[in-house]
DNA sequence: TGACCGACGCGTCATCCACG
DNA sequence: CGTGGATGACGCGTCGGTCA
């Protein structure tokens, strides 16, 4: 379970959608690390089947891979228990559930926090102009080249982590959405109603785009976590092997 | 072949939160 | 403090896989 907040502690039924077993099982590791001392190049296979060459080793001490640095885990778990008991009584309604489960920190925020802790985790960049190049601080992890095309812009991920570029909206509004008239020019209730409708349509349209973008970022975030898990698994395996080797060397010979 | 299921994407609403 | 962007929650439709 990847959820940044109540991972490992609690899974609410309504989160089933996002807890696809696929995500938890698809990451496989090729494990072709180079020898000791040399810069490790790790071949990691992502769920999509793509292989990722990961350079460098994440060395910063860190909590569990799937644990968020947020402290809310305990809080949410506690609340969740009351939630479950309430549910068993059949009292809880959707509104309550919303209140209880609402608001987790944004993926961008979480990822950026992770990246500040761990050099190997790239940041989800703020929206950039097309002219800007790839920032130097995201060169630690290689991700297959891909291009995301959204209605608001083209997202390119070339080599390293996805750095996405958003074109300035060339067409201000789609057909059917008319720019609002200035408030001073509104007179009749009908005009006011039309204005309200326009505003609503505009808001819905923007939210539609925002939701798409949010989902894209969410996927990116999950991919990033998967990559990180894969890297750490390789690392872990390597360390275990190293430990065994050292044990062999240090143990008194019996024969 | 139709029923069923899980995954996925989308649109919308509600809410949080940063910013001016 | 109002506003707008970000995002969780929810419901719905679609698609592909599986099974009787």
Q: Separation of CA A16 and C1' B2 in angstroms? A: 27
Residues 6+ apart with CB under 8 A from A226: A23, A26, A27, A46, A47
> Would you say the C-beta of A199 is within 7 Å of strand B?
no
Run of H or E residues at A155: strand A154-157
Q: Separation of CA A216 and C1' C18 in angstroms? A: 30
On the CB side of A149, how many CA atoms lie within 13 Å of its CA?
0
> Would you say the C-beta of A211 is within 7 Å of strand B?
yes
Whether A73 contacts A9, CB under 8 Å: yes
What is the Rg, in whole angstroms, of the alpha carbon atoms belonging to chain A? 24
Instruction: Quote the pLDDT of residue A223.
Output: 86
> pTM for this one?
0.52
Q: Separation of CA A12 and C1' B3 in angstroms? A: 28
A209 vs A42: CA distance, rounded Å: 37
Nucleotide B7's nearest residue (CA vs C1') is A20
Instruction: Quote the pLDDT of residue A46.
Output: 45
> Would you say the C-beta of A145 is within 7 Å of strand B?
no
> Would you say the C-beta of A25 is within 7 Å of strand B?
no
What does the pLDDT look like over A178-216, one tens digit per residue? Answer: 444 444 455 677 777 788 888 888 999 999 999 998 999
Q: What is the DSSP letter of A208?
A: H
What does the pLDDT look like over A12-44, one tens digit per residue? Answer: 333 333 333 333 333 333 333 333 333 334 454
Edge-to-edge strand ranges of the sheet holding A28-29: A28-29, A41-45, A51-55
Q: Separation of CA A16 and C1' B5 in angstroms? A: 14
Give the bases of strand B that a protein CB approaches within 7 Å: 6-17
What are the structure tokens assigned to A166, written together? 């958003």
Residues 6+ apart with CB under 8 A from A242: A36
């Amino acid at each position: 379970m990847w959820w940044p907040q109540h991972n490992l502690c609690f899974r609410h039924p309504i989160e089933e959608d996002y807890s696809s077993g696929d995500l938890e099982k698809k990451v496989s590791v090729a494990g072709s690390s180079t020898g000791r001392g040399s810069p490790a190049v790790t071949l990691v296979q992502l769920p999509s089947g793509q292989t990722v060459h990961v350079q460098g080793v994440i060395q910063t001490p860190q909590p569990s891979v799937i644990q968020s640095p947020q402290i809310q885990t305990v809080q949410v778990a506690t609340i969740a228990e009351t939630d479950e008991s309430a549910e068993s009584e059949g009292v809880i309604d959707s509104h309550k559930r919303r209140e209880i489960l609402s608001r987790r920190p944004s993926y961008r925020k979480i990822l950026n926090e992770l990246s500040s802790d761990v050099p190997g985790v790239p940041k989800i960049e703020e929206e950039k102009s097309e002219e800007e190049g790839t920032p130097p601080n995201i060169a630690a992890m290689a991700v297959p080249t891909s291009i995301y095309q959204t209605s608001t812009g083209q997202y390119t991920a070339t080599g390293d982590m996805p750095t996405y570029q958003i074109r300035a909206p060339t067409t201000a509004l789609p057909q059917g959405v008319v720019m609002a008239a200035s408030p001073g020019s509104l007179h009749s209730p009908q005009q006011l109603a039309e204005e309200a409708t326009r505003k609503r349509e505009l808001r819905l349209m923007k939210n539609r785009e925002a939701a798409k973008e949010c989902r894209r970022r969410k996927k990116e975030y999950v991919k990033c976590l998967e990559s990180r898990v894969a890297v750490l698994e390789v690392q872990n395996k390597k360390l275990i092997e190293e430990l065994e080797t050292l044990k062999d060397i240090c143990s008194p010979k019996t024969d």
